[in-house]
Amino acid sequence: MPLLVMKFGGTSVADLDRITSAAEKVKREVDRGYDVIVIVSAMSGKTNELVSWVEETSHLYDAREYDAVVASGENVTAGLMALRLQEMDVPARSWQGWQVPINTTSVHSAARFVSIPRENIDAKFAEGFKVAVVAGFQGLSDESRITTLGRGGSDTTAVAFAAAFGAERCDIYTDVDGIYTTDPRICGKARRLDRIAFEEMLELASLGAKVLQTRSVELAMRYNVRLRVLSSFEETDENSGTLVCDEEDIMESKAVSGIAYSRDEAKITLVTVEDRPGIAAAIFGPLSDAGVNVDMIVQNISEKNYEGHSVAVTDMTFSCPTNQVARAKKALEDARAADKIDYDDLVVDTESAKVSVVGIGMRSQSGVAARMFQALANENINIKVIATSEIKVSVLIDRKYMELAVQALHDAFDLDKAA
């Protein structure tokens, strides 16, 4: 039998009526001849509630017990979904992570997959069951303890099952009807894409697009799992949603496929740092140890007159999330106190945003950066920092201009029109 993986997020199973609606979509695929593995999230709001209970019970909680409590939300949804399918005369059975088993590392609340053996679920399909409803977001460590995968882990669970079982496709049902050229809440001209390449989706997800979890896209690209993102709130068919697939499955691409943004970015500059071998490691090593997520980096070389001699110096600028600024400042100040680095000043700008254009078409089409910079110049938007990759150009700008920048770039690259 051909096999599909279908994943339903929290808003798609928010209550019993939504679970019924999701079950009807599963039954439709069973009626078409598929065996189905359904991955479910906890009902909307339930994970937050469980986390709050843990934190109220124990401020310095045991991470193993945290996972045991927080993973229970998905177990409830899986059982209810299996019951609803049985009421529809669809042979279904629920599975918790330990029953599959979903083998993971022992890093609680941030576990990663080790293996997903097929034998137990395959045996149930062989007995005549048509649907396996699996609790997402959870697994089993080598110490036989329940683990969780971090927020968005159910997306990753779905892709991992699709890879392990050789599924024809992995359908991610959510509260939006696909991947858009940019956030429709910011740009009314945003257009739903029929297809997008794995690499483009990975860039968009890492740059702030929240439709798919980054790890799930990484896994899909590695194992070439075709993903389809579609709405659980609408009637769907084979043409619904957005297919995330290999670049070879896309006939022709525009230079830019989408625009992502990150609202809460900070720019930190170390002024007048000695320019010598190892200085970058001396700066960014402590930041890494402190868990600071450094993104864009710019280095400006100059000279400083010191005791009658010209000494090569540099200003080192980088960006990071605004909620990590205090951690970054402490790490740099501690490194300075320990004589690992020296600088004249530490300048922090917490009023920045990052805007990025992404597209695999950049590989074969020139002039994207120039077009982007001109569009921003036309709106009198100053660029603070620039970073590029093969399929991406990102700029750091004043946060107050972020929405204007997104709209201007969407127009500049004609993203409201199909290729």
Mark the binding-site residues for ATP, compressed into ranges: 7-10, 174-175, 180, 185, 210-211
Query: What is the residue whose two structure tokens read 């293996």?
Result: 115
Cβ atoms of residues 94 and 78 within 8 Å: yes
Cβ atoms of residues 340 and 382 within 8 Å: no
How many residues appear in the chain?
A: 419
Cβ atoms of residues 372 and 409 within 8 Å: yes
Extract the annotated binding site for substrate.
47, 74
Element (H, E) at 358: strand 345-358
Residues whose CB is less than 8 angstroms from the CB of residue 157 and which lie 6 or more positions away in sequence, other chains included: 7, 39, 102, 134, 136, 137, 138, 149
- For the record, the structure tokens of 91 come out as 């042979």
Choose among 124, 161, 139: nearest CA to 67: 139
Element (H, E) at 227: strand 227-231
Reduced to 3 states (helix: H, G, I; strand: E, B; else coil), residue 413 is coil
Angle between helix 46-57 and 63-70 (nearest 10): 150
DSSP string, 234-248: S---TT-SEEEE-GG
Residues whose CB is less than 8 angstroms from the CB of residue 88 and which lie 6 or more positions away in sequence, other chains included: 23, 24, 27
Extract the annotated binding site.
7-10, 47, 74, 174-175, 180, 185, 210-211
- For the record, the structure tokens of 381 come out as 């938007």
